[in-house]
Amino acid sequence: MSDSEISHTTRQKVFFIVLTPTAVGAGVFLLLNALTPLGALASAFAGLASGAVLALYFASNLYAVIADTENELKGRIDESFSGTIYEKNKLETILRYMTDGTVAVGADGSIIHANESARRILRMTDDDVRRKRYDDIILRFTDDLTLDAILQDLEAGETGGSFSYGGATYDVSFGVFKDSYGDDGGLVIIFRDVTESQKLRDIQADFVANVSHELKTPLTSIKGYAETLLAGGIDDPEMSKDALGIINSEVDRMKRIVNDLLQLSRLDAGRQTWNMKETNVIALVRMAAKKQGVTAGRKRQQLNLFAKDRSFMLTIDRDRIEQVVTNIISNAVKYTREGGRIDVEVVRDEHWLYIIVLDNGIGISELELSRIFERFYTGNKARSGDMSGTGLGLSISKQIVEEHGGNIVIQSELGYGTRVVISLPLEAPAINKNILQE
């Protein structure tokens, strides 16, 4: 019987009760009460208890009322049961797809629930979840987050902590959940992987420290020479000339750093304008090598260029690629001793053009090689001494080449030399599509 049928039969009986002459007094009360099957059942018992003539009616209808009531209760239980299942499924799905690890721990320390992320973060097997206590699991990583430790933290008003393991860092938050009696039922502990954001925070902090340091060094020197001039040095023409020369080159250095930083920020924000044009790459490389020839000559180095063709046209941003080639050749010149040799070669295959710069200089250790493209990384100062610059050249070069759809690969052996390969695709890269003309 459907809900509407149940209430329809109920209403008929109520109507009949009211029309029974001896029940007029009780009728009003019973009418109000009997609007639902449960109320009708109560009314039936009330009628029986009153012993009135009405009781005859109620007695005869008691079974029908009980049946109605049973139906309604069954309906309500079914409804609330399927509601509970729906809520349970919903919760399970949320927990399953949550990237945060969530563990519910009973007051006795047993694991009530651990979602998949928690199992992954805490390396829990199904057997662990079934049999192990929470403390057994967490103690494999840290002793700061045991049940007792967390309860103490909560008492002190703290609701979170963190732990690191295997190169990853996790933020942990926790709280007490109540059972159906309103008592403390246990703890919910949530683990969030913050490794990446922590790394970004570290990089940002390093970056600010590096920029400050790189700008502070020339500023200190400028200030020192300016003070010397003010303190009377200005009257000594020789000293004045030296001081002003140094001030001038330090200002140039600061200008270079600021320009590099502005360029990096443009590249990062995708605001770099690309002026893509058909360019003779061989001529570009020859020109860049020639410019470095002066410094190489001063160091009595051999600087050779090898290219089969005189000309090879490629669509690139000429100035930016020249900047890259200049930086790579200038590195080779800078980090190669007097009398050393630098070979620059331009070759190509079916899909790529390669600009290869080979030197027999001081080389780079394996450990340094893994960090060489980091901003401000200048390697081992003891090895490169005064030669090293600000460590922005390679990181900018890499970004420029990647924007052209290519890459830079560096191989090196400490003490023997370095080989840098710049690869550029022969097919025009995607940045052609959104060139912003300068």
Ligand X SMILES: Nc1ncnc2c1ncn2[C@@H]1O[C@H](COP(=O)(O)OP(=O)(O)OP(=O)(O)O)[C@@H](O)[C@H]1O
Task: Choose between 340 and 406: whose C-beta lies nearer to ligand X.
Answer: 340
Give the count of residues interacting with ligand X (CB under 6 A): 22
Interface with ligand X includes 362 (CB under 6 A)?
yes
Q: Does 323 bind ligand X (CB under 6 A)?
A: no
Q: Does 332 bind ligand X (CB under 6 A)?
A: yes
3-state secondary structure of 163: strand
**Residue 364's binding partner out of ligand X, Mg ion, none, with CB under 5 to 8 Å set by partner kind:** ligand X
Could you tell me which stretch among 46-54, 277-285, 312-320, 362-370 binds ligand X (CB under 6 A)?
Answer: 362-370
Least distance (Å) from ligand X to the CB of residue 423?
A: 17
Closer residue to ligand X (CB): 62 or 414: 414
Residues 135-174 that bind ligand X (CB under 6 A): none
> Among residues 61 and 412, whose Cβ is nearest to ligand X?
412
Name the minimum Å distance from CB 208 to ligand X: 17
Distance CA 152, CA 148 (A): 6
CA distance 336 to 194: 42
Longest dimension (CA), the chain: 132
Q: Which residue is associated with the tokens 């005189």?
A: 310
In whole angstroms, the minimum distance from the beta carbon of 253 to ligand X comes to: 9
> Within its chain, how far is the Cα of 151 from the centroid?
30
| Binders of Mg ion in range 315-354 (CB under 5 A) | 331
Q: What is the DSSP string of 32-78?
A: HHTTSHHHHHHHHHHHHHHTSTHHHHHHHHHHHHHHHHHHHHHHHHH
Contact call for residues 314 and 353 (beta carbons, < 8 A): yes
The Cα 133–Cα 139 span in angstroms is: 10
Q: Cβ distance 177 to 188 under 8 Å? A: yes
Q: In DSSP terms, which residues pair with 178 in a beta bridge? A: 184
Nearer to ligand X, 159 or 370 (CB): 370
Which tokens sit at 71? Answer: 């139906």
Q: Is 333 in the site for ligand X (CB under 6 A)?
A: no
Choose between 43 and 210: whose C-beta lies nearer to ligand X.
Answer: 210
| Binding positions for Mg ion, 389-418, rule CB under 5 A | 393
List the interface residues with ligand X, window 363-382 (CB under 6 A): 363-364, 372, 377-379
CA angle 430, 431, 433 (to 5 degrees): 80
DSSP letter (8 states) at residue 234:
G
Asked if 384 is part of the footprint of ligand X (rule: CB under 6 A), the reply reads: yes
Q: Out of 222, 359, 360, 406, name the contact with ligand X by CB under 6 A.
A: 359
Find the binder of ligand X among 145, 394, 401, 422 (CB under 6 A).
Answer: 394
Least distance CB 400 / ligand X (angstroms): 13
- Binds 214, which of Mg ion, ligand X, none (CB < 5 to 8 A, cut-off by type)? none
Residues 6+ apart with CB under 8 A from 296: 302, 303, 333, 342
In degrees to the nearest 10, what's the CA dihedral of 324, 326, 329, 332? -90
- Residue of the chain from 218, 393, 408, 424 that contacts ligand X (CB under 6 A): 393
CB of 249 to ligand X, least distance (A): 14
Whole-angstrom Cα distance, residue 247 to residue 228? Answer: 12
Q: Which residues bind ligand X (CB under 6 A)?
A: 327, 331-332, 335, 359, 361-364, 372, 377-379, 384, 388-394, 418
